[in-house]
């Protein structure tokens, strides 16, 4: 059966490309998706699936019930875009100023929709059910997955799988990582309250700029001196805002940054240390600090058995040379919320453009991927579903 499904799936490739390019031309930002979920729902309803809309507010969930009872496996794709002005000169360039699909979510969505289409054509031969989760707002904390899970999208699901296209890896190369694979992602804002004044008389001020410089240095010791060296953690100050004049010391300074960890206890310790270091550093120099710590997505922790399953399927489909074990990364993904409800795995699938001069990283104004990545991701999903449901290839 698998070979027949793949043959049919490959025949749908022109339709995949057309749908993907339509999404690419009309991108929508996180928490502002209106037309995209409508397009997704219309497509899924035409397949005769059980379709729920406005799941968690903007998500779409479709259920395919096989001809024979069995387990339920879920597949997830995201459909939000980014606040980036596209610089690609392609016929399907974004028509929305300042917004583009610069992370491949259009590829994920079209690919999964056509997986749903081809599996629906073979539904009577399936033993079990497949749930297709089309998620909004992956790019912006608190993310859409949390709200979709709270709205019940994972009820009755026995396992869940997700895949992300990788613009830097060769087409079809599959990276997997069992256990913690993507980090807890938290953000922080530290406002230093000093006392401004004339830049020529700094002794009459409590300079938040100078204190901010010292605080930046002190924060780096959270990882180097307050965290077990065998545990992974990152504390990065990415923004330092203070004043707007050559000769005026401002009253306040603002530091913004991110903290990345894997384990819950390390996450809590890093937060506590950021608060403590900010307070003690500022108070020791006559200022005060207000810390706003925003917890983002929890770590993606892939199930050992399900990661082994999807890796095995990938090797059988694409060969040993195109499947590799990844090291954990400090990026974050709200696919983690689905993994809190059922075992599963999140993998990366290569989709680098054929010409190396066209290869750009994710979130770049010239980001693009080889559209054949949709075929690779789709086949990986189909193969994993059939393996999980215990289908015999025939």
Is residue 177 a known part of a binding site?
Answer: no
| Of 138, 271, 334, 370, catalytic | 138
Per the rule left: phi > 0, alpha: psi between -120 and 50, beta: everything else, 11 is alpha
Q: Which residues, listed in sequence order, are joined to residue 289 by a DSSP beta bridge?
A: 192
Residue carrying structure tokens 């530091």: 255
What does residue 252 show for φ and ψ, rounded to 5 degrees?
-135, 160
| Of 28, 78, 80, 391, catalytic | 80
Q: How far is CA 270 from the centre of its chain?
A: 22
* Residues 6+ positions from 157 with CB-CB distance below 8 Å: 72, 73, 74, 131, 341, 342
Q: Among this protein's residues, is 80 annotated catalytic? A: yes
Is residue 139 a known part of a binding site?
Answer: yes
Is residue 176 a known part of a binding site?
Answer: no
Is residue 362 a known part of a binding site?
Answer: no
DSSP string, 53-110: EEETTTEEEEEEE-SEEEEEEEEEEE--BBS-------TT--SSTT-B--SSHHHHHH
Element (H, E) at 206: none
What does residue 393 show for φ and ψ, rounded to 5 degrees?
-65, 130
Q: Among this protein's residues, is 155 annotated catalytic? A: no
Report, as residue numbers or ranges, the catalytic residues. Answer: 80, 138
Which residues carry a binding-site annotation for Mn(2+)? Answer: 103, 105, 139, 164, 363
């Amino acid at each position: 059966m698998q070979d027949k499904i793949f043959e049919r799936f490959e025949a749908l490739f022109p339709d995949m490309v057309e749908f993907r390019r339509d999404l690419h031309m009309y991108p929508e930002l996180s928490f502002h998706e209106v037309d995209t979920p409508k397009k997704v729902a219309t497509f899924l309803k035409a397949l005769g699936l059980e379709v729920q809309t406005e799941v968690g507010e903007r998500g779409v969930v479709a259920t395919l019930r096989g001809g024979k009872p069995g387990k339920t496996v879920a597949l997830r794709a995201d459909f939000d875009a980014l606040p980036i002005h596209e610089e690609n000169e392609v016929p399907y360039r974004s028509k929305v100023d300042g917004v583009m699909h610069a992370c491949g979510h259009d590829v994920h969505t079209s690919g999964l929709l056509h997986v749903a289409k081809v599996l629906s054509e073979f539904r009577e031969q399936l033993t079990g059910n497949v749930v297709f989760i089309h998620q909004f707002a992956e790019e912006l904390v608190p993310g859409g997955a949390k709200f979709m899970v709270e709205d019940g999208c994972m009820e009755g699901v026995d396992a869940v799988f997700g895949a992300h296209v990788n613009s830097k890896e060769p087409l079809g190369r599959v990276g997997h990582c069992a256990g913690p694979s993507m980090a807890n992602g938290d953000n922080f804002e530290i406002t230093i309250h000093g006392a401004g004044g004339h830049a020529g008389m700094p002794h009459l001020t409590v300079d938040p700029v100078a204190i901010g410089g010292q605080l930046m240095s002190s924060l780096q010791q959270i990882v180097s001196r307050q965290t077990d060296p065998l545990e992974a953690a990152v504390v990065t100050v990415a923004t330092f805002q203070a004043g707007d004049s050559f000769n005026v010391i401002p009253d306040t300074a603002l530091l913004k940054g991110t903290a990345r960890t894997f384990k819950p206890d390390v996450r809590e310790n890093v937060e506590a240390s950021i608060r403590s270091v900010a307070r003690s550093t500022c108070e020791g120099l006559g200022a005060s600090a207000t810390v706003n710590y925003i917890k983002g997505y929890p770590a993606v922790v892939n199930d050992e058995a399900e990661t082994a399953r999807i890796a095995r399927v990938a090797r059988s489909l694409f060969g040993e040379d195109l499947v590799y074990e990844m090291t954990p990364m400090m990026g974050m993904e709200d696919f983690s919320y689905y993994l809190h409800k059922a075992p599963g795995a999140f993998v990366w699938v290569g989709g680098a453009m054929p010409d190396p001069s066209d290869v750009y990283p994710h979130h770049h104004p010239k980001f693009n991927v080889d559209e054949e990545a949709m075929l690779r991701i789709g086949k990986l999903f189909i193969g994993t579903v059939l393996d999980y449901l215990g289908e015999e290839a025939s």
